[in-house]
Amino acid sequence: MPATYVIGDIHGALKALDQLIGRLPLRDGDTLIFLGDYVDGWPESAGVINYLMSLESKLACVFIKGNHDISCESWLNEKTIENPWANNAGKATVASYHKLSADERMVHARFFSGMSPYFIDDKNRLFIHAGFSNASGSGLIDQVIYKDRSLWELALTMDKRVKKDPGLFPKKLLQFHEIYIGHTPTLIYNKDLPMIACNVHNIDTGAAFKGKISAMNVDTKEVWQSDAVYLLYPGENGRNP
């Protein structure tokens, strides 16, 4: 039976991404769902995008857009200079793109523009970078939230209460069978594996910092990881202070 794997934040760590993909027991018909933040941090952001485009020619892939990807896409399209991004989080990303021609950069810009804000599969599982709003009640998702951490914080806050009283399960979360997110590193909670709270799975295990890139089989919940990214890039800082 074909498998579906969800993959957390990558942040320019091409070596770790390639290592992780090599460790997955991939077969024809499998699907990879990436939760965004492909760039910013480690020095190979442009290389990560090239790798993903190549991977898409071999396997079914879904690419969710993250907040760092929005900044990079905007810069590639020269819609904004975004100096705070280019001089801070995006510094290594900009440097990686100096190695590409103008035509190659435009190919990448088109790839970013084709990314999805979220994905819902046939089992009503939501895959999204950070969160969503449905305040108007007009549909399941009115607005995608790329930076806010309130969805994960809601799940964490309610998790113990829900275990004692399932009637307290937040209606926002119950709209979906499961929710898969990135964006908030589990290292904040001293965890180096994906976390679950209520029905929300957090797959960002801190690859931007001193963590790993993680993948999870969404049916079996088995987890695979790269090595800690900083070990693969000695002399580089990623997004570490």
Instruction: Supply the CATH number for residue 178's domain.
Output: 3.60.21.10
User: Does residue 208 sit within a domain?
Assistant: yes
Residue 108 lies in a domain: yes
Burial 143-166 (b: 16+ CB within 10 A, else e): ebbbeebebbebbbebbeebeeee
Which regions of the chain are under pLDDT 50?
A: 138
How far, CA to CA in Å, does 119 sit from each of 8, 51, 73, 89? 14, 21, 20, 26
Total number of domains in the chain: 1
Give the pLDDT score at 55.
Answer: 97
Task: Indicate whether 240 belongs to any domain.
Answer: no
Determine the pLDDT at residue 120: 96
* pLDDT value of position 86: 74
Q: Residue 163 falls within a domain, yes or no? A: yes
What are 110's two structure tokens?
């088109």
238: in domain = no
Q: Looking at the whole model, is its pTM more than 0.85?
A: yes
Question: Residue 237 phi/psi, 5° resolution?
Answer: -105, -15
Examine residue 241 and state whether it is found in any structural domain, yes or no.
no
Q: Is residue 46 part of a domain?
A: yes
Distances from the Cα of 10 to the Cα of 4, 67, 122, angstroms: 18, 13, 26
**Does residue 15 fall inside a structural domain?**
yes
Q: Which domain holds residue 184?
A: 4-232
So what's the pLDDT on residue 79? Answer: 67
